Amino acid sequence: MAAEKKDNWSTEAYQHSASFVPKLATKIVQWLDPQEDDHILDVGCGGVEDGVLSLDIARTASEGVLHGIDSSPAMIEAAKRAAAEKNLQRNSTFEVLDATDLINRPHFQLFNKAFSNAALHWILRPEPTRESFFRGVKSALTPGGTFAFEMGGLGNCSELRCALLMAVGRRVGLARAQEADPWFFPDEEWVTDMMERKVGGWEIEKVEREWRPTTADAGGVDGWIRLMAKQFFEVLPEEEREECIKEVVDVLEVVCAKPGGGYMFSYVRLRVLAKKVE
């Protein structure tokens, strides 16, 4: 029997340290352009504060369907509770599913649109499953269906990533720290080549990369590092983790400090709107 996949997410921690993620998704939702009769597949739905963004889309697609998938059981349970509280169970469903397994779901219902916000830089981290992921999304769409997604782009949070790689790498070596890095931040050229040429059957209709400086949430630098970068520290002996976290946070509280108070993270977002053409 395969080992159970570890759930690295806490809904409470997400709300405390990353609640800005769904609030800053306005533009990619505009690209999705949800209509009342749409059937929408939401990939990585739990990563946007308990599915709140998914439910906003489901409310618009009132005569259609929104089906959210996420590999985190905690996030999916939170999304289901939120749907019940908002009385949106009729047209919104949620399922624990690793998005890289979509290609293995030939019985999966078909959707005319797919959507993802702030999830693909995690999902695409393992290089061997990148092509199969995009093939899987394509297989879940009807002919002419569209996929609108936003993810971390090349240069995303570079100051945070640098501090993490240096602190963890000093203890276990840079190569091991790189292996622990849970993110993949591509650019426009990479995503176009992957979707249109390597996978095929996609046409990129719009693509852009935007620097979006983002003020830290209530959890500050410490909360963000403990939530988003947790996997970096798991390669260290348990007794060394707090010391390493403190080292990272101390540096970043200098680098990211805003003159008027608070902290700024250098988010870079890659947005894509692609159509299934075959």
Which tens digits make up the pLDDT trace of 186-205?
999 999 999 999 999 999 99
Distance between CA 273 and CA 196 in Å, rounded?
12
Residue 41: beta bridge partners? 67, 114
Predicted confidence band of residue 51 (pLDDT cuts 50, 70, 90): low
Average confidence (pLDDT) over 76-82 = 88
Tally of CB atoms within 10 A around 140: 22
Burial 246-264 (b: 16+ CB within 10 A, else e): ebbbebbeeebeeeeeebe
HSE at residue 84, side-chain half, CA atoms within 13 A, is: 7
Half-sphere exposure of residue 245: CA atoms within 13 angstroms, side-chain side? 21
pTM of the model: 0.89
φ, ψ at 98 (rounded to 5°): -70, 125
Nearest to 94 by CA among 56, 118, 66: 66
